[in-house]
C-alpha cells in the first residue's frame, strides 16, 4: 500500500525515520536566521496542525532553486492551470480512509472548503483565509481510527495544495521552517493545541527518494476532548507544483509506531497519485 512508485517503497522509511532524526530544530533568535538562510538555499523544515495540515499559501515571489529530484517528468498538458482543474486533481489525490489501514473511517465534516486555506497568524493561532493568488486550491479530507478496546481514536487529515507555479510550491516548503521555529507552541482551535514542536527537512537524495523535497514536524498534542499530551506528527512532500501532507494525532493507548505508519502510508499513496495524474507518457 505504499503506492505505485517503486521509488516510494524505498523512500517511505526515509520519510518516516530519517526526517524525524536529521536536522531537528527549535527555538529562535540566531537559530531562526540560520534556518531561514538554509531554507533559501533549498533545505526545508515545517510546522502544521489540523488546521495547519491544510497547507500554507503565499505570495508569488520566485522561490528558492531546488536541484535534483525524483525521476518524474510532468506532462505540461496535464498540469492544472485553473482552480477547477486543480480541485479535480486534489480530489483525485487526497487520501481516503482506506489509505491508512484497516478500520479507518470518514470524520464529520469529511472535506474542507477548497476556497480557503489555513494560515498561522502572528500569535501562533491557526486561522482560515481566502486563497492567495499563488494557490489554485487547498483541499483536505479528515479520517480517523475510532476508539476501541480502551484505546482512543487516531485522527488523520490529508491535504493537497496545488500552486500556480513550481516556485510557489518551493516557497511554501521553505517558509514553513520559519513558522516552526517562530511558534514551537501552536493553537489549532479553541479546544486543541500542540507543544514542543521539532521540525526537520529532507531535500531529494538525503534519505528522501520519493519527492522533490520533504518536511516533517512532531510534538505533543493536547485536546479538551482527548486530554494529553499525546503523540503528534505531520509530514509534507512536494512534487512539482503540488504539495501533499498528512497529520496524525494520537490519544490514550495509541503508539507512535501505528500513527507513523498511517502518516507514511497516506503520504506515499498521495505522491503516487500525483505522479499518476501528472506524469508524461513514456
Residue 237 DSSP SS3: strand
- Among candidates 16, 48, 44, 65, which has minimal Cα distance to 200? 44
What global pTM score does this model have?
Answer: 0.76
User: What does the pLDDT read at residue 190?
Assistant: 86
One-letter-per-residue 3-state SS of 203-218: EECCCECCCCEEEEEE
* Omega prior to 60 cis, within 30 of 0: no
**Helices 30-40, 166-182: inter-axial angle, 10-degree rounding:** 170
User: What does the pLDDT read at residue 210?
Assistant: 66
Cβ neighbours around 191 below 10 Å, total: 11
- Among candidates 106, 110, 99, which has minimal Cα distance to 144? 106
The distance of Cα 175 from the centroid of its chain, to the nearest Å, equals 13
User: What does the pLDDT read at residue 90?
Assistant: 96
pLDDT in tens, the chain (282 residues): 323 232 332 233 333 333 333 333 333 333 333 333 333 333 333 333 344 444 444 444 444 434 445 677 788 889 999 999 999 999 999 999 999 999 999 999 999 988 898 889 999 999 999 999 999 999 999 999 999 999 999 999 999 999 999 999 988 888 777 788 889 999 998 899 999 988 877 656 455 556 778 888 889 999 999 998 999 999 898 988 999 999 999 999 999 999 999 999 999 999 999 998 988 665
Amino acid at each position: 500500500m505504499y503506492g505505485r512508485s517503486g521509488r516510494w517503497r524505498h523512500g517511505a522509511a526515509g520519510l518516516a525515520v530519517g526526517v524525524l532524526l536529521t536536522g531537528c530544530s527549535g527555538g529562535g533568535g540566531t537559530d531562526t536566521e540560520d534556518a531561514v538562510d538554509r531554507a533559501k538555499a533549498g533545505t526545508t523544515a515545517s510546522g502544521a496542525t489540523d488546521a495547519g495540515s491544510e497547507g500554507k499559501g503565499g505570495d508569488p515571489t520566485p522561490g528558492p532553486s531546488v536541484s535534483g529530484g525524483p525521476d518524474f517528468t510532468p506532462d505540461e498538458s496535464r498540469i492544472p492551470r485553473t482552480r477547477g482543474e486543480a480541485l479535480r486533481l486534489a480530489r483525485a489525490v487526497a487520501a481516503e480512509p482506506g489509505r491508512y489501514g484497516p478500520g479507518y473511517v470518514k470524520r464529520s465534516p469529511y472535506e474542507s472548503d477548497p476556497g480557503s486555506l489555513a494560515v498561522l497568524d502572528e500569535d501562533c493561532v491557526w486561522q482560515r483565509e481566502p486563497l492567495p493568488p499563488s494557490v489554485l486550491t487547498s483541499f483536505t479530507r479528515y479520517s480517523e481510527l475510532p476508539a476501541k478496546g480502551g484505546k482512543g481514536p487516531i485522527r488523520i487529515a490529508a491535504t493537497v495544495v496545488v500552486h500556480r507555479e513550481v516556485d510557489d510550491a518551493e516557497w511554501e516548503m521553505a517558509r514553513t521552517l520559519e513558522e516552526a521555529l517562530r511558534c514551537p507552541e501552536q493553537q489549532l482551535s479553541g479546544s486543541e493545541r500542540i507543544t514542543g514542536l521539532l521540525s526537520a527537512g529532507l531535500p531529494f537524495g538525503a534519505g528522501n527518494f520519493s519527492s522533490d523535497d520533504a518536511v516533517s514536524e512532531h510534538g505533543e498534542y493536547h485536546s479538551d476532548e482527548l486530554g494529553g499530551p499525546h503523540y503528534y506528527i505531520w509530514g509534507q512532500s512536494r512534487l512539482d507544483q503540488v504539495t501533499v501532507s498528512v497529520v496524525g494525532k494520537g490519544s490514550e493507548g495509541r503508539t507512535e509506531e501505528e500513527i507513523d505508519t498511517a502518516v507514511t502510508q497516506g503520504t506515499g499513496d498521495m505522491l503516487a497519485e500525483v505522479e499518476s495524474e501528472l506524469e508524461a507518457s513514456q
